[in-house]
Structure 1
Amino acid sequence: MTAQISTPVYDIAVVGAGPAGMTAALLLAKTGYRTVLVAPGANLDDGRTTALLQSSAQIYEGIGLWEAISAHTAPLRRMRMIDGTGRLIRAPEVTFDSAELELDAFGYNILNKDLNKVLDEAVSAEPALERIAAFAGSYDFAEDQVTIALEDGQAITAKLCVAADGRRSPAREAAGIDVKSWSYPQTAIVLNLEHDQPHQDTSNEFHTPTGPFTLVPLPGNKSSLVCVVKPDDAEPLLAMAEEALALELERRAHSILGKMKLASKPQSFPLSGLTANALVGPRLALIGEAAHVFPPIGAQGLNLGLRDVASLVGIVGSQVHKKTGFETASAKDPGTAVVLKAYEKDRWQDINSRTAAVDALNRSLLTDFLPVQVVRSAGLYLANRIGPLRRYLMREGIAPQSKRPGLPLPVPGALPKPRLPTLPKLPRLSPRQR
């Protein structure tokens, strides 16, 4: 007689071991639900970087990981925007200073591999979280549970599946959720650089006719670069020898950080965007790039995904930590339609507004239509001149005021906010350099 192999049953299965997935798994496990993370090991070789804005840093502060993460970061205390389009109508140079908001920094830039390592170690050390190092093969969404067949032959069931499995999300496709996708006539070249001059904890963003050219601080005299160009221009740049490419990037940066040297191998990818037509399905919630993708502009990608996590954990966890008005069959069922619709409703405005803003800013750089150039330039001029408007834009850039992290966990107060001494004034570009 053949023995029956039991199928493990969980409350929540998180699929995907990127930063959003690992963070969601950690937080959901701490709410008291039986949680499993389904994914092979984290990517510990990713040389790209992520700027964790203050709202994201506070999430990690709340679960005791910020000290380990911050050791690998460089603060972003100033964000300097420079119009390098060379067009007839140009925006004034604008510098946003976190000290004006009495913040230590807008955010903190970190190598993805360092962030993944800290999160991967936290996942392994969390006693309330199980991990299955396998790919999810297929999904069967039923009324009361989801069954996930794994590629190693196992199967598990859960009351809720949280899909953090990327822009091509198999879980999203299995649930039949369509997406709206679009592309841009642009390619992003990303790499890390060493340079002679200190960056003074300042991000320098040149707006060019082909897109942003952005240098973001890393620890020491290093910066990460996102250089957005036309697709036909990307290949010649990538074909350059290291010294020639470093010299070309220094020229494009107007030597504001001195002599440059490549600190990582250049990578490139076409720019595109994606928004899921629904954030939930039966027993399914989408977070991170499974729900939304847009260009690497304004440090919004992962930060938006972490706000997905905070929202989902807050709504799901509220059933355990306090009484709510949810009329559910089980007071602790995290995957009911009422709970999932509450999550979707909470996230739509933030996702749609961020997607629209990033898309509009990017397209405004590509167009030669004079009225659009006037509007863009006028907006930056007003931000530079009107303090309340500038401070509002800075606060909203960190996170919408209505979407600050609110987790049902013991979260300490905001990170320290000392007022910093004024940094030395950065040199302005001469008309010839522009």
Structure 2
Amino acid sequence: MDFDIVISGGGIAGLAAAAAFGSDGKRVLCVDPAPPVTDRDADGADPRSTAFLQPAQALLAEAGLWDRLAKHAMPLQVMRIVDAGGDLPEPRVTKSFDAADISDLPFGWNLPNWLLRREFSAYLSKLPTVDYRPGTATKTLFTRQAEARVGLCDGSRVRTSLVIAADGRGSPMRQAAGIGVTTKRYGQKALAFAVTHPIPHENVSTEIHRTGGPFTLVPLPDYDGRPSSAIVWMEEGPKAQALMDLEVPAFEAAMSERSCHLFGPLTLASKRTIWPIIAQHADRMSGERVALMAEAAHVLPPIGAQGLNMSLADLRVLRDLVRDRPDQIGDADMLEAYHRARFADIRTRIAGIDLLNRTSMQSNPLLRDARAAGLNALYGVKPLRKTLMQLGLGTTRS
């Protein structure tokens, strides 16, 4: 066998998987058709950020990655939800969820995606059992009971015990394995970019609901001497595209208004990106000698920092199964156990995020009023509030 594990996909989830298995001494090949863009201002750099919730941070620490990331990470101590669904774009209900109510640690830590790719790639170069090949794509998949054979774009073929498909929502390896998907479309798009602002964020992540979807500001380290945040702005598709096409001064005025001026005037501090919003899940988490993870297995609207944290929950289950069954990597029993461990949780979380997204999209004044009343009611019941915060983290502590 050439490798224990072949990972198709070198996004953040795929690189994290290579690090986790490589730090355990497994022989890993990780490939991705596109070399990682690791400079903030380079063409193709990802201006989005990722909030690693507590369980995800613990996994990265166990894999040896967190020491590289900690000095760049911005703690997320408070999650603030603002309803601005009245006649004017201004707060009418504001509720703050403090991590201190359930933990001695912050809810999570936020890092820019371009920096994550830089640090993950550098870490993989130091792991002797990991072969990381950016610029190489998987092309073919042949499986049988004892092994998988993966064809690469350079014409070579490798043999492996397990293929991990972490190659995105259109996953070539998922398709090659014959696993279908169920997809919901919302008619929304999301804009992602970074800003600076005069009022400090004080480690508070703020999600503002009006119409079209949430407008979320997540703390980043200062940029050019000013407080900075990453923004994801969800809106109906045509409106999002119109915003994307605005000249910078008009765009800054629009985003400052949509932020309810909570941080003062916002100044664009990165390029803008835009992508369509869907919810999607695979019909199964595994096939013969293949495990799906991350967006190959599930895609969510960007609400509540669930997307990549669910991906790392996939990784934790896979890693623990490989540790427990070192002589059964990729066999049918192991992959069935993986499917059972993850499938129900994924379906439940997708349903919850779907409901939150549809609620955030409301433009009808009566439904917006109901949303505000619901936020008040949820916040007012302390045991329910604590339980929901724990569920959001993926924990069940009392």
Per the normalisation by structure 2, the TM-score is 0.91
Does structure 2 retain, via aligned residues, the 8 Å contact 1:38–1:136? Answer: yes
In the alignment, structure 1 residue 236 sits paired with structure 2 residue 238: no
Q: How much has 1:196 moved relative to structure 2?
A: 0.8
SS of the residue 1:71 aligns to: helix
Residue matched to 1:414: none
Residue matched to 1:67: 67
Alignment of structure 1 residues 196-215 onto 2, 5 Å = 196-215=198-217
Alignment of structure 1 residues 19-418 onto 2, 5 Å = 19-40=12-33, 41-44=35-38, 45-86=45-86, 92-133=93-134, 134-220=136-222, 221-320=227-326, 332-367=327-362, 376-401=371-396
SS of the residue 2:252 aligns to: helix
Higher mean Cα deviation, 255-264 or 168-177? 255-264
Does structure 2 retain, via aligned residues, the 8 Å contact 1:28–1:317? Answer: no
Q: AA paired with 1:84?
A: A
In 2: Cα distance, 1:273 partner to 1:384 partner? 27
Q: How much has 1:68 moved relative to structure 2?
A: 1.6
Does structure 1 retain, via aligned residues, the 8 Å contact 2:190–2:275? Answer: yes
Does structure 1 retain, via aligned residues, the 8 Å contact 2:188–2:235? Answer: yes
In 2: Cα distance, 1:348 partner to 1:103 partner? 30
Does structure 2 retain, via aligned residues, the 8 Å contact 1:83–1:91? Answer: yes
Q: How much has 1:374 moved relative to structure 2?
A: 7.1
Does structure 2 retain, via aligned residues, the 8 Å contact 1:183–1:273? Answer: yes
Q: How much has 1:149 moved relative to structure 2?
A: 0.8
In 1: Cα distance, 2:198 partner to 2:64 partner? 35
Q: How much has 1:131 moved relative to structure 2?
A: 2.8
Q: How much has 1:371 moved relative to structure 2?
A: 8.7
SS of the residue 2:316 aligns to: helix
Q: AA paired with 1:302?
A: L
Residue matched to 2:8: 15
Does structure 1 retain, via aligned residues, the 8 Å contact 2:86–2:365? Answer: no
Q: AA paired with 1:191?
A: F
Larger radius of gyration: 1
Q: AA paired with 2:2?
A: V
| Identity percentage of aligned residues | 35
In 2: Cα distance, 1:199 partner to 1:160 partner? 44
In 2: Cα distance, 1:208 partner to 1:122 partner? 41
Q: How much has 1:144 moved relative to structure 2?
A: 1.1
Q: How much has 1:114 moved relative to structure 2?
A: 0.6
Does structure 2 retain, via aligned residues, the 8 Å contact 1:191–1:263? Answer: yes
In 2: Cα distance, 1:297 partner to 1:124 partner? 33
Change in Cα spacing, 1:345 to 1:223, as seen in structure 2 (3 Å) is: same
Q: AA paired with 1:277?
A: D
Equivalences, count: 383
Does structure 2 retain, via aligned residues, the 8 Å contact 1:204–1:214? Answer: yes
SS of the residue 1:12 aligns to: strand
String of CA shifts for 1:48-96, please: whole Å, max 9, x gaps.
Answer: 1111111111111222321321222211111111111228xx9842110
Higher mean Cα deviation, 170-179 or 393-402? 393-402
Change in Cα spacing, 1:153 to 1:310, as seen in structure 2 (3 Å) is: same
Q: AA paired with 1:161?
A: V
In 2: Cα distance, 1:401 partner to 1:96 partner? 17
Change in Cα spacing, 1:31 to 1:63, as seen in structure 2 (3 Å) is: closer
Q: How much has 1:254 moved relative to structure 2?
A: 1.9
String of CA shifts for 1:154-210, please: whole Å, max 9, x gaps.
Answer: 110111111111111100000110100121021211111011110111111111121
Residue matched to 1:4: none
In 2: Cα distance, 1:234 partner to 1:32 partner? 45
Unaligned runs of 5+ in 1: 1-7, 321-331, 403-434
Unaligned runs of 5+ in 2: 39-44
Higher mean Cα deviation, 63-72 or 304-313? 63-72
